[in-house]
Amino acid sequence: MRYLIISDIHGNLQALDAVLEDADRLGYDALLVLGDLVGYGADPAGVIDRTLAREPRAIIRGNHDKVAAGLEPPSLFNDVARASIEWTAKTLSAEHLKILRDLPQGPKLAGDDIEICHGSPFDEDYYVFDVDDAGRALEAAHARFCFFGHTHLPAVFATSPDPARPADDLAEDEMRLPTSGPALINVGSVGQPRDGDPRAAYGIVDLARNVLQLRRVRYDVAGAQARIRAEKLPEYLATRLARGQ
């Protein structure tokens, strides 16, 4: 079974289309979506439609999805995030807002010993940045592999007796996963990478081979920036895309 894992699309339709095209070329059996379809980017409706058209095996909400849908106030967001999510809420149709409102809360078991969450398995909005955060998350995980998003940073955390590791028989972007687990995995952000690499990030996990593939894909950054500027969203949302911030 090969799962396509995507997270933090954030209204960036250009990045999503590039990721789906690349994933189609590689092949996969089922799609898992880890939340934050909207926020920041200028094509929230297109992202929602394109994602749901792929009939995800499992999908959960992110914090931007919740705020856009009116489930939480935008008061905790910074000025840029608040401006973009308020624009998103005004731009989306009632139907699209209902879709966001009805997205299930993580964590969620997705079958084949996989769990998905947006922030962490113990708190859907918690940021997992370091080994201390990861240790707490691993203790709360309910499956051998727990995939999370929210930070926009690719990362793999596993116990030292059974680590994730590169192998000579694997491709450059692949690593062997732990045989027993648990492992906590972030495949990065489709629509707003923050690791200094502007390319869209996603992952494919191959359970038959016990291999994780972390992919980076070039996309039309200029086109995504043009859409942000056309909608008069904060300029920083456009400039950060080219820097992977």
Condensed to tens digits (0 to 9), the pLDDT of residues 117-158 reads 999 999 999 999 999 999 999 999 999 999 999 999 999 998
User: 106 near 143, Cβ under 8 Å?
Assistant: no
Give 166's pLDDT tier (boundaries 50, 70, 90).
confident
152: left (phi over 0), alpha (psi -120 to 50) or beta: left
Q: What is the pLDDT of residue 159?
A: 78
Q: Where are the alpha helices (DSSP H) in the chain?
A: 13-26, 44-53, 63-68, 79-91, 94-102, 131-140, 221-230, 235-243
Q: What is the pLDDT of residue 169?
A: 76
Cα–Cα distance between 173 and 203 in angstroms, integer?
10
Cα–Cα distance between 129 and 45 in angstroms, integer?
30
Q: What is the pLDDT of residue 127?
A: 97
pLDDT of residue 214 exceeding 80: yes
pLDDT of residue 38 exceeding 90: yes
pLDDT of residue 163 exceeding 80: no
pLDDT of residue 108 exceeding 90: yes
**Across-strand partners of 165?**
176
Q: Taking every pair of C-alpha atoms in the chain, what is the biggest distance, in angstroms?
A: 52
Per 3-state DSSP, the chain is made up of helix, strand and coil in percentages (nearest 5) of: 35, 20, 45
pLDDT of residue 216 exceeding 90: yes
Note the Cα 178 to chain centre separation in Å: 22
Q: What is the pLDDT of residue 171?
A: 78
The CATH architecture annotation of domain 2-243 reads 4-Layer Sandwich (3.60)
- Report how far apart the first and last C-alpha atoms of the chain are (Å, whole number): 33
Cα–Cα distance between 46 and 48 in angstroms, integer?
5
Neighbours of 107 (CB within 10 A): 25
In the three-class reduction of DSSP (H, G, I as helix; E, B as strand; rest coil), residue 110 is classed as: strand
Give 172's pLDDT tier (boundaries 50, 70, 90).
confident
pTM of this structure: 0.95
Q: What is the pLDDT of residue 12?
A: 98
Instruction: Look at 11 and 112; give whichever has higher pLDDT.
Output: 11
Give 162's pLDDT tier (boundaries 50, 70, 90).
low
